[in-house]
Amino acid sequence: MTIEESISKLKINLIRRRPFYGVILMKLGELKESDTTDIASTDGDTIFYNKEYMDKLSESERNFYLLHQLYHCIFMHPTRMINKDSKVANIAADYLVNYYIDMEKEAFRRNQIIITPPKDALMAESREDKALLEKLSFEQLYEMLYKNMKQQTSKDIGDNSQNNGEGKSGLGQNINYQNIKEDLIRPKNVQKTSSNMRRIIQESIITNKMQGNKSMGDMPGNLLRRIEDLIGTRLPWHKYLRRYLTNIESDDLSFDTPDKNHIYRELILPGVYEDENRLEDILFVIDTSGSISDSDLNNFMTQAYNICNDFNATGKVIFFDSIVQDVFDIDKDNLKKARPAGGEGTNVDSAFSYIKDKKLKYTCAVVLTDGYFPRPNVLIRNVIWCLTEDATTRNIEGYKGSKIIKM
């Protein structure tokens, strides 16, 4: 199997079986050949590989090197090594990346992605070192290894200095720092590279959650926390809704406005609708019971306005507590006029019954709530539960055809 075939197979397997990684790898663009890299390298935007070297490896060895660079990108190591000793930064980054690859090795194997690390890979061997990598950030590990390098340098020139108590760890011991092969390339534009990777990771998380993929839940908890720490622990709920609506918009095709670009092939394909409002109405179903804070209500109303404005959509706001308190027809111009009403106990079935009884047409029903109500008995389609920070999911888990998002 050629390196090109290996890359193609890895991409396909990741998209199908580990889509969190697959989406990121695809969004990074094509992997590029490079005669200036020893095996493989990355600047955080692109993954480079030495074709001559990689052609000699087995598929499982290639998988290791390609995933190794992908993890460097995900952890944004090229941008985080700025103002650091490059050799020590490479060692710290390699230890962390290889630790997480080792944690994921069996999960990858179950998904038909076999990984074989090379013999000289920097791997944590002892339980103590693995526990250390579980705890330390890239920056913290760098500082520890940098002190270790300085101690080794002092020893080489005849200074038998004390170990500072850090000799208990095998990480970075007996390494010739001068012979380290560096695979991290300093990006030309650090801010742009960092921003781009944050966006790609966010889009991957959004895509996977919107499609109901379980790959996020399969990731080791500490790995997911590390990634969330880099991009921010919460993704705005309205980004999920935007992705949902954008997918609908891209599928909104009709033969009433045909695409004639393929007539030369004797094909007439459906084109995009030319209606002024290309999306059906959106329902914003807002819990106004006493347990919902004013800040949550204000945040939701602001984002609802932005979404209606961006998608040129119309819809309704349904304010409910134990009953439907008010229904407000909205568009991008008058949504700000809507005023929440309510303040009693909560029963979401009151709003869902109203939707069914009135036979309302809608693309999706976006429910802002803290989840503190009896389990819903009324079933409606395409519900997106947008939960407040202290919400409970106890009574909405398993609600057919719905998605749960934290605000």
Indicate which CATH number applies to the domain containing 344.
Answer: 3.40.50.410
Residue 293 lies in a domain: yes
Residue 269 lies in a domain: yes
Task: Report d(CA 401, CA 244) in Å as an integer.
Answer: 13
Question: So what's the pLDDT on residue 306?
Answer: 72
Nearest to 204 by CA among 27, 7, 17, 407: 27
Q: Is residue 242 located within the same domain as residue 170?
A: no
Question: So what's the pLDDT on residue 214?
Answer: 62
List 366's β-bridge partners, or say none.
284, 384
Q: Which of 154, 188, 222 is the last residue of a domain?
A: 188
Q: Is residue 17 located within the same domain as residue 149?
A: yes
Q: Is residue 254 located within the same domain as residue 132?
A: no
CB 361 within 8 A of CB 338: no
- In the block, which residue shows the tokens 């406005």? 257
The set of residues, in sequence order, having a beta carbon less than 8 Å from that of 29 and lying 6+ positions away, is 45, 46
Strand order through the sheet with 402-406: 324-330, 315-320, 282-287, 364-369, 383-387, 402-406
Pairing of strands 324-330, 315-320: antiparallel
362 CB-side CA count, 13 A: 24
Question: So what's the pLDDT on residue 332?
Answer: 54
Task: Report d(CA 107, CA 14) in Å as an integer.
Answer: 12
Name the phi and psi angles at 133, rounded to 5: -65, -30
Strand order through the sheet with 47-49: 32-33, 47-49, 40-42
Residue 209 lies in a domain: no
H or E segment to which residue 281 belongs: none
Task: Report d(CA 212, CA 244) in Å as an integer.
Answer: 12
Q: How many residues does the chain have?
A: 407
Pairing of strands 364-369, 324-330: unpaired
- Return per-residue pLDDT of the chain as tens, 407 residues: 889 999 999 999 998 889 889 989 999 978 999 999 999 999 999 999 999 999 999 999 999 999 999 999 999 999 999 889 999 999 999 999 999 999 999 999 998 999 999 998 999 989 999 999 988 999 999 999 998 888 776 665 555 444 444 445 678 777 877 778 899 999 999 989 988 898 888 878 777 765 656 666 567 767 877 787 777 645 555 666 666 666 654 444 343 444 445 454 444 444 433 443 345 578 989 998 877 777 777 777 777 777 777 777 778 889 999 999 988 887 655 655 666 666 678 899 999 999 999 999 888 898 988 888 999 999 999 898 888 777 888 899 889 988 887 66
Residue 210 lies in a domain: no
Task: Report d(CA 272, CA 261) in Å as an integer.
Answer: 13
Q: Is residue 27 located within the same domain as residue 175?
A: yes
Question: So what's the pLDDT on residue 5?
Answer: 92
Q: Is residue 61 located within the same domain as residue 150?
A: yes
What is the domain range of residue 248?
238-406
The torsion of the CA quartet 67, 41, 46, 101, rounded to 10 degrees, works out to: 20
Question: So what's the pLDDT on residue 276?
Answer: 38
What angle, 0 to 180 degrees and rounded to 10, lies between the N-to-C axes of helices 59-74 and 3-17? 60
Residue 62 lies in a domain: yes
Residue 145 lies in a domain: yes
Nearest to 89 by CA among 185, 222, 156, 187: 185
What angle, 0 to 180 degrees and rounded to 10, lies between the N-to-C axes of helices 86-110 and 59-74? 120
Name the domain count of the chain.
2
Q: Which of 147, 166, 188 is the last residue of a domain?
A: 188
Q: Is residue 167 located within the same domain as residue 313?
A: no
CB 71 within 8 A of CB 63: no
Q: What is the CA radius of gyration of the chain?
A: 26
Question: So what's the pLDDT on residue 282?
Answer: 85
Q: Is residue 171 located within the same domain as residue 243?
A: no
Q: Is residue 281 located within the same domain as residue 397?
A: yes
Question: So what's the pLDDT on residue 74?
Answer: 94
Q: Is residue 152 located within the same domain as residue 256?
A: no
Q: Is residue 245 located within the same domain as residue 162?
A: no
CB 145 within 8 A of CB 88: yes
Q: Which of 188, 208, 226 is the last residue of a domain?
A: 188
Residue 194 lies in a domain: no
Q: Is residue 296 located within the same domain as residue 388?
A: yes
Residue 199 lies in a domain: no
Question: So what's the pLDDT on residue 77?
Answer: 95
Nearest to 79 by CA among 139, 7, 141, 39: 139
Burial annotation 315-325 (CB, 10 A radius, 16+ → b, else e): bbbbbbbbebb
Question: So what's the pLDDT on residue 237?
Answer: 59
The torsion of the CA quartet 81, 85, 91, 93, rounded to 10 degrees, works out to: -10
Q: Quick one: tokens of 141?
A: 């590990």
The torsion of the CA quartet 224, 227, 233, 234, rounded to 10 degrees, works out to: -90
Q: Is residue 170 located within the same domain as residue 302?
A: no
Tell me the whole-structure pTM to 2 decimals.
Answer: 0.60
